[in-house]
Structures are given as C-alpha cells and as structure tokens.
Amino acid sequence: MNFFRLVADLMHLASIFILLLKIQKTRSCAGISFKTQLLYAIVFVTRYLDLFTTWISLYNTIMKIFFIASSVYILYLMKYKFRATYDPILDTFRIEFLLAGSLVLALIFNYDFVPMEILWSFSIFLESVAILPQLFMLSRTGEAETITTHYIFALGGYRALYLCNWLWRYIFDGHVDVYAWVAGIVQTALYSDFFYIYYTKVLHGKKFELP
C-alpha cells in the first residue's frame, strides 16, 4: 500500500458516499445515469469473484464487499425507491457496445484463458468506459447539480491516482500490469474535459454548465 493508492481508494469510497448523499438529500436520482451505475455493478461483481478464492487482506475484503453491496443498493434506489425521478429519455447511451467491446477485448487480452481471468479483464476494460453514459447524459442536459459533479470528480480522480500508484509500484516493486495501465489511462483520459470544466467552473464557485 502506498500513499497514492490509499488516497485513490478513499476517493472511490467518497464518491459512493457523495452519490448516496445526493440521492438521499435531494430525494432524487435526476442527473444520474442508471446505465453507468449498472455497468459499475457488473464491474464489481465480475472483478471481485476472487473474494471466494483468494484472501488478500481484511482491508481488501471489506472494500470489495462494500463496492458490490453499495452498487447494488444504488441500482435498487434508482429502480424502485426513486424511480419516478429518473428520466430514461436522457439516458440513451448504447451500453451493448461497451459490454460487447469489453468482452471481445477480454477474450483477446487476459492473463490466462480461464473464466475468472477473462472476467477480470472484462471488468478492467468495462470500468474504463463505464462513465460514458453518465458523461453523455451530462452533455445532453448541458448542466449538473454541484453535488453530482463532486461525485464524478471523485470517481475520475480515483483512477487518475491509480496511475501514480502504478508508476510508484513499477519503480519500487517492479510491479507490471499492462492491461490495467492501458485501461486506466483511457479511463482517466475520458474525464479530461470534465476535469477541465470542474476546475474552471465548480471550484470557482460557479454552476457546472457546458460551454
């Protein structure tokens, strides 16, 4: 564990709490893409299958269980409790392509051609593009509640800090994980426009609006 990874994980954790806070405080999931949330639930379930096979640490286990449980809980909130506040008309990104593309990539790029490894690769590739329906929704509405932008920022920042973590681990441990690196770079790059507007608008006390 190094500083970057710890802060990254805490940001990831924070992003989920911010999202839950947004939904509970405003009693609405307006502005949140159900499709992105669905993709994250798939990402966590397919990646953390090793909960049943490998013990890493208490920290690792608790975080994995939390990520799976919270993602399913958010789906429940959006699909049932606050269903009336969700606008499917704005959430029209075609996730079939993301799922199919990630699966094809996982079948080609994996550390071993066995179901667990293929699903792990699939989750890495799917995570890198899972934010797209949310960003697409943002571009359709052209604006967002400030708390929603904090959520997206924390979620994007987590993977950006993982890039620092991977550089650290490569230098000090010789740790190499090419698939995660490439996917992490793509994931962070997808946020770059968002980061720019977040920095120039939200952090200067203005509303998040697309130019």
Residues within the interface to another protein (CB under 8 A): 5, 9, 12, 50, 54, 56-57, 60, 63-64, 67, 111-112, 120, 162, 165, 177, 180
Query: Nearest approach, Cβ of 180 to another protein (angstroms)?
Result: 8
Q: How far is Cα 124 from Cα 181, in angstroms, rounded to an integer? A: 10
What's the chain's Rg over C-alpha atoms?
Answer: 17
Given a contact cutoff of 8 angstroms between Cβ atoms, the answer to whether 204 and 179 are in contact is no
Identify the H or E element spanning 78: none
Distance CA 19, CA 64 (A): 18
Instruction: For the CB of residue 11, give the shortest distance to another protein in the complex, in Å.
Output: 11
Residue nearer to another protein on the CB measure, 12 or 35: 12
For residue 181, the minimal CB distance to another protein (Å) is 12
Which of 9, 91 has the CB closer to another protein? 9
> DSSP label at 77?
I
- Name the residue nearer to another protein (CB basis): 56 or 100: 56
Nearest to 156 by CA among 2, 14, 3, 1: 14
d(CA 82, CA 169): 42
The residue among 1 and 203 lying less far from another protein, judged by its C-beta, is: 1
Q: Least Å distance between CB 9 and another protein?
A: 6
